[in-house]
Each structure stands twice: as structure tokens, then as C-alpha cells.
């Protein structure tokens, strides 16, 4: 199994990229989240990979971060979700935001991702809610941004996942948070305040 590639980025044409490793060109399919992080063609690149063997094809998928690969692998385990849909999810939402959306059961946010209908979104919430822990653990790997642990930080992240801009989410949390409030209470107060 191929778990990681280090080589020269030979070409990138979404969703495909070609990495030259010691004279061998590896063709990979990658989400847009990875493409945004790629260096210029001709530069060195390191990618985490997922090697898939199907009845009629062999495929290699590349990811800039380990957390993206963890999420991809969890997504393709969900009934009715294939590699194309998993790549669409990674292209449409960050790993941290996806994790928060699943934890909060926000089906509407998932349906905004191209290729995800209501039934698929509901299935994702049901099947991944228990596995989200592993996804958030992958986010805590070196080089990953830490997840907020205080109620105000959690509430602000949740509001951003719901579509509020970071400045707006911070303003709402600052305005509504009282000492002793848990994240859920702050979110509820912030959403009420936003509707006024």
C-alpha cells in the first residue's frame, strides 16, 4: 500500500495531479482543499495518500494533511458515499467545520455541499457522529490548528460552521456569553440575538 509520496510536482489540473518520485510519475486525484496548498509545478511536494483497488480500476488519492485523509477514509465507509462524493465534501468544507457540522447534526449545512442531498446528509450525520472523535484527533496532529476547548471558542467555531463570518461570530459570542454558560447556551443566545 502507498501511504505517502514525496517528490516533484510535475503537473496539476484539478482534480488530477502528477508527482514524479525518482523518475516514476504517480497520478493522483485530490480535493480542492489540497490544490489550494500545492506549491508551483516543479517544486517538491509531500502528500498523504489513499490507495484504492476496485474490481475494474486502481486509484490513488492525494491529501495535503493527514486529517483530510482520515476524513476521506471515514466518508467512503458510509453507505452510498463513494470517492467522488468524499472528494466533493473535502473540496466544499474544511475538516474542522465538517466535524463540527456532524457533531451538531446540521443537515442543512451538509446539503449545501455539491453532490450531497438530504438523505445522504442525514446518513452522514448518523453514521459519522460516533467517528468524529477520530477525525478531530487527526486535527490535533503537529501542524494542525488546535480545537477550541473553552465554551466561547466552541460557540464561535460553531457559528462559523453555520455560515457566520469570523468577525460576526466573535461579536455575537462576546455580546451573548455570560460567565458559567456552556457552548450550547452561548450558541442559542447568539442565534436569538442574530435574529433580532
Sign of the dihedral through C-alpha 23, 54, 12, 137: negative
Q: Are 75 and 127 found together in one domain?
A: yes
**How high is the pLDDT of residue 148?**
53
Q: Are 156 and 191 found together in one domain?
A: yes
Yes or no: say if 28 and 47 are a contact pair by the CB < 8 Å rule: yes
**Pick the residue with more confidence: 165 or 182?**
182
**How high is the pLDDT of residue 16?**
92
Cα atoms found within 13 Å of the Cα of residue 185, Cβ hemisphere only? 9
Q: At which residue does the C-alpha cell 446518513 appear?
A: 123
Beta-bridged to residue 19, according to DSSP, are 9, 26
Q: Are 120 and 173 found together in one domain?
A: no
Q: Which of 100, 115, 139 is at the close of a domain? A: 139
Q: Which of 63, 96, 114 is at the close of a domain? A: 63
CATH label of the domain that carries residue 52: 2.40.50.140
Q: How many residues does the chain have?
A: 196
134 upstream amide cis, omega within 30 of 0:
no
Q: What is the 3-state secondary structure (H, E, C) of 9-62?
A: EEEEECCEEEEEECCEEEEEECCHHHHCCCCCCCCEEEEEEEEEECCCCEEEEE
In a domain, 130, yes or no: yes
In a domain, 145, yes or no: no
Encode pLDDT of 22-55 as tens digits: 999 999 999 998 988 899 999 999 999 999 988 8
CATH label of the domain that carries residue 166: 1.10.8.10
In the chain, the N- to C-terminal Cα span, in Å, equals 55
**pTM for this one?**
0.67
In a domain, 144, yes or no: no
Q: pLDDT band at 5, cuts 50/70/90?
A: very high
CATH label of the domain that carries residue 102: 1.10.150.20
Range of the structural domain that residue 57 is part of: 4-63
Domain count, the chain: 3
Encode pLDDT of 88-127 as tens digits: 899 888 888 888 888 888 899 888 888 888 999 999 998 8
**Pick the residue with more confidence: 167 or 7?**
7
**How high is the pLDDT of residue 192?**
83
Q: Are 77 and 133 found together in one domain?
A: yes
Proportion of the chain above pLDDT 90, given as a percent: 31
Q: pLDDT band at 140, cuts 50/70/90?
A: low
185 vs 90: CA distance, rounded Å: 30
Residues 6+ apart with CB under 8 A from 39: 9, 45
Q: Which of 12, 40, 63 is at the close of a domain? A: 63
Q: Are 131 and 116 found together in one domain?
A: yes
In a domain, 146, yes or no: no
**Pick the residue with more confidence: 71 or 147?**
71
Q: Are 20 and 56 found together in one domain?
A: yes
Beta-bridged to residue 172, according to DSSP, are none
Q: Are 135 and 161 found together in one domain?
A: no
Amino acid at each position: 500500500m502507498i501511504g505517502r509520496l514525496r517528490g516533484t510536482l510535475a503537473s496539476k489540473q484539478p482534480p488530477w495531479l502528477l508527482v514524479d518520485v525518482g523518475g516514476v510519475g504517480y497520478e493522483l486525484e485530490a480535493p480542492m482543499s489540497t490544490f489550494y496548498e500545492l506549491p508551483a509545478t516543479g517544486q517538491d511536494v509531500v502528500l498523504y495518500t489513499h490507495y484504492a483497488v476496485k474490481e475494474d480500476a486502481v486509484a490513488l488519492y492525494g491529501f495535503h494533511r493527514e486529517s483530510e485523509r482520515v476524513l476521506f477514509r471515514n466518508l467512503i465507509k458510509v453507505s452510498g458515499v463513494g470517492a467522488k462524493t468524499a472528494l466533493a465534501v473535502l473540496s466544499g468544507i474544511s475538516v474542522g467545520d465538517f466535524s463540527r457540522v456532524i457533531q451538531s447534526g446540521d443537515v442543512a449545512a451538509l446539503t449545501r455541499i455539491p453532490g450531497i442531498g438530504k438523505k445522504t446528509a442525514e446518513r452522514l450525520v448518523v453514521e459519522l457522529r460516533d467517528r468524529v472523535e477520530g477525525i478531530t484527533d487527526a486535527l490535533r496532529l503537529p501542524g494542525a490548528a488546535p480545537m477550541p476547548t473553552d465554551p466561547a471558542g466552541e460557540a464561535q467555531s460553531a457559528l462559523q460552521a453555520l455560515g457566520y463570518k469570523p468577525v460576526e461570530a466573535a461579536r455575537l459570542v462576546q455580546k451573548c456569553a455570560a460567565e458559567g454558560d456552556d457552548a450550547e447556551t452561548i450558541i442559542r443566545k447568539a442565534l436569538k440575538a442574530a435574529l433580532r
